Amino acid sequence: MAEIQLRNVGKRWGSFVGVDNFDLTIADKEFLVLLGPSGCGKTTTMRMIAGLEDASEGDILIDGARVNDMEPKDRDVAMVFQSYALYPNMNVYENIRFPLKVRGIDPATHDEKVRRASAMVELDDFLHRKPAELSGGQRQRVALARAIVREPNVFLMDEPLSNLDAKLRVSTRAQIKNLSHELAVTTIYVTHDQIEAMTLADRVVIMKQGVVQQVGSPTDIYDEPANTFVASFIGNPAMNLVDGDVKGGVFRARNTEVQGLNAPDGPITLGFRAEDANVVESGGEINAPIYTQELLGDSTMVSVRIGGALVSVKADKTYRAEIDDQVSIHIHTDHCHLFDAQTGARLN
Ligand code: ATP
């Protein structure tokens, strides 16, 4: 059982705020993903939970006990980093066993624990190899097994897939998801990859410049982003965002006119996802020249420029047109997102 509470946790270095007022309870067995661009404070938040960084303010509680002043080794958390930090002169078996030795766990139990952990990450056949004789993906699995073998209360994972190539990343991601289901241990996972966040998380925390922007299930965040930052960070392609003006329920921007919006008069940012629009013969809300088109296999992505914004919609895979050809785009207005033009905050 491990519930983690972060109560108004902050980290400052001089006047620079790395993490501001982080306030969240992470449920026992929850898989929480911290997501955001480089430098937004994800790693710092995790390092404070691990005890590798002191919090400048606020309280960190694990199972109700305040751990701010507790040594990392006493917090019963296991970390997996982007760099695997394996011992090069130990083989896989010894690397996985190492945490058991350090923690003084009864040696009679080591063999069974190492074999169970290595089987979970499918390394049974590699126990005698040295790290140098393994692929990147296998090394990362050793690092995972070394975290699993301790049977910790909490897993902290910092971009564990970022050194793997695209294909291995997908298969190792699936393995982590499966493992987390099997182990049912509270996990905090840091990434800047929104697909990893969407596929792994029970809940996602999106951060920007040290400040939490939104906390929610992947579906909540995808369907109702709290602001334009979240909207443009989640989803592939990113949500289309067009700046314009509303007058009498009609939104107008360059090459664009959308009727029947339930929005007050004035400037707003209109958002819609690629799947909530389609290319039509004529009479769509956007009529503009094609900026680019990309063949995706199952469909064709057609993009136009509206002012500074690139707007992308999916067309049939057989759709063919030339750059600069005029295209008409129909937006499914009941799926539109409205944002404050100044603050970017969600309006609907
Ligand atoms: P990345 O994805 O690049 O790892 P991150 O979201 O994990 O980024 P952090 O490593 O948490 O970001 O850093 C948050 C901010 O705090 C960054 O602007 C970073 O430069 C700053 N920072 C981190 N450590 C220190 C330090 N020891 N002294 C001063 N500033 C620091």
Ligand 1 atom with least separation from CA of 46: 11
| Residue 241 and residue 331 in contact, taking contact as beta carbons nearer than 8 Å | no
pLDDT tier at 272, thresholds 50, 70, 90: very high
Q: Is residue 345 part of a domain?
A: no
Minimal CA–CA distance to 327: which of 340, 348, 312? 312
CB 154 within 8 A of CB 76: yes
Pocket test for ligand 1, best of 40, 49, 156, 194 (most atoms within 8 A of CB): 40
| In the predicted structure, residue 55 carries a pLDDT above the cut 90 | yes
Instruction: Please report whether residue 59 resides in a domain.
Output: yes
Would you place residue 201 in the very low, low, confident or very high pLDDT band (cuts 50, 70, 90)? very high
pLDDT at 267: 97
d(C-alpha 129, C-alpha 123), whole Å: 10
Average pLDDT taken over every residue of the chain: 93
Least confident of 33-47, 139-153, 164-178, 316-330: 164-178
In the reported structure, the alpha carbon of residue 39 is separated from the centroid of ligand 1 by a whole-number distance in angstroms of: 5
Kindly give the distance from the C-alpha atom of residue 45 to the centroid of ligand 1, in angstroms, as a whole number. Answer: 10
For ligand 1, is residue 14 a contact (CB within 6 Å)?
no
Which residue type, as a one-letter code, is found at position 280? Answer: V
Residues 284 and 334 in one domain: yes
Q: Distance from the CA of 324 to the center of ligand 1, in angstroms?
A: 43
Residue 213 gets the label, from left (phi > 0), alpha (psi -120 to 50) or beta, of alpha
On whether both 242 and 227 belong to a single domain, the answer is no
Count of domains for the chain: 2
> Is residue 48 within 6 Å of ligand 1 at its C-beta?
no
Give the CATH number, domain containing residue 76. Answer: 3.40.50.300
Q: Measuring from atom 11 of ligand 1, which residue has the nearest CA?
A: 41
Candidates 37, 3, 43; CA nearest to 19 is 43
Has residue 1 got a pLDDT over 80? no
Please check whether residue 347 lies inside any domain of the structure.
Answer: no
Residue 252's pLDDT is: 96
Any domain includes 328: yes
For residue 280, tell me if it sits in a domain.
yes
> Would you tell me how many other CB atoms lie within 10 Å of the CB of residue 336?
22
Q: Is the CB of 218 under 6 A from ligand 1?
A: no
Instruction: Give the model's pLDDT for residue 140.
Output: 87
Q: Is the pLDDT of residue 235 over 80?
A: yes
318: left (phi over 0), alpha (psi -120 to 50) or beta: alpha
Same domain, 118 and 181: yes
pLDDT at position 120, please? Answer: 84
Q: Tell me which residue has its CA closest to atom 19 in ligand 1.
A: 39
What's the gap in Å between 34 CA and the centre of ligand 1?
Answer: 14
Distance separating alpha carbons of residues 75 and 70, to the nearest angstrom: 7
Mean pLDDT check: name the lowest of 86-95, 117-126, 243-252, 282-291: 117-126
pLDDT at 84 over 80: no
Q: Which pLDDT score is estimated for 160?
A: 86
Domain that holds residue 165: 4-231
Question: Residue 56: its pLDDT value, please?
Answer: 97
**In this predicted model, which residue has the larger pLDDT, 178 or 191?**
191
pLDDT of residue 347: 94
Give yes or no for residue 37 having a pLDDT over 90: yes
- State in Å: Cα 209 to ligand 1 middle: 10
Say yes or no: ipTM exceeds 0.85.
yes
Residue 238 has pLDDT above 80, yes or no: yes
Indicate whether 30 belongs to any domain. Answer: yes
Verify whether ligand 1 is closer than 6 Å to residue 208 (CB atom). no
CA distance 22 to 86: 32
Question: Which DSSP string corresponds to 229-286?
Answer: HHHHHSTTTTPEEEEEEEETTEEEETTEEE-S----SEEEEEEE-GGGEEEESS--SE
- Residue 288 pLDDT > 80, yes or no? yes
Domain boundary (211, 231, 251) is at 231
Do 284 and 317 fall into the same domain? yes
Is the pLDDT assigned to residue 234 strictly greater than 90?
Answer: yes
pLDDT of residue 136: 84
Question: What CATH code is carried by the domain that includes residue 310?
Answer: 2.40.50.140
The pLDDT score that the predictor gives to residue 210 is 97
Q: Tell which atom from ligand 1 comes closest to the C-alpha of 13.
A: 29
| Residue 290 pLDDT grade (very low, low, confident, very high; cuts 50, 70, 90) | very high
Kindly state whether residue 348 falls inside one of the protein's structural domains: no
pLDDT, position 94: 96
Q: Is 42 in the pocket of ligand 1 (CB under 6 A)?
A: yes
Same domain, 201 and 257: no
In a domain, 12, yes or no: yes
| pLDDT reported for residue 46 | 95
**pLDDT band at 179; cut points 50, 70, 90:** confident
Whether residue 161 has pLDDT greater than 90: no
pLDDT value of residue 168: 79
CB of 15 within 6 A of ligand 1: the answer is: no
Query: Going by CA atoms, what residue is nearest to atom 16 of ligand 1?
Result: 18
Q: What are the angstrom distances between the C-alpha of 280 and each of 201, 302, 313?
A: 36, 12, 11
* Residues 146 and 284 reside in one and the same domain: no
Same domain, 210 and 265: no
6 Cα–ligand 1 center, Å: 19
Whether residues 134 and 211 share a domain: the answer is: yes
Q: Are residues 219 and 291 in the same domain?
A: no
Pair (273, 257) in one structural domain: yes
Domain edge (last residue) among 231, 256, 274 = 231
State the average pLDDT over residues 47-59: 96
- Ligand 1 midpoint to CA 38 (Å): 8
Task: Looking at the CA of residue 40, tell me the nearest atom of ligand 1.
Answer: 6
On the question of pLDDT at 257 being above 90, the answer is yes
Mean pLDDT over 195-217 rounds to 96
17 CA to centre of ligand 1 in angstroms? 10
Q: Which of 231, 258, 290 is the last residue of a domain?
A: 231
CA 143–ligand 1 middle distance (angstroms): 23
**Confidence label for 343 from pLDDT (cuts 50, 70 and 90):** very high
Looking at residue 293, its amino acid is Q
207 and 244: one domain? Answer: no
How wide is the angle at C-alpha 313 spanned by C-alphas 310 and 317, nearest 5°? 130
Q: Are residues 305 and 218 in the same domain?
A: no
Q: Ligand 1 pocket, 16 CB below 6 A?
A: yes
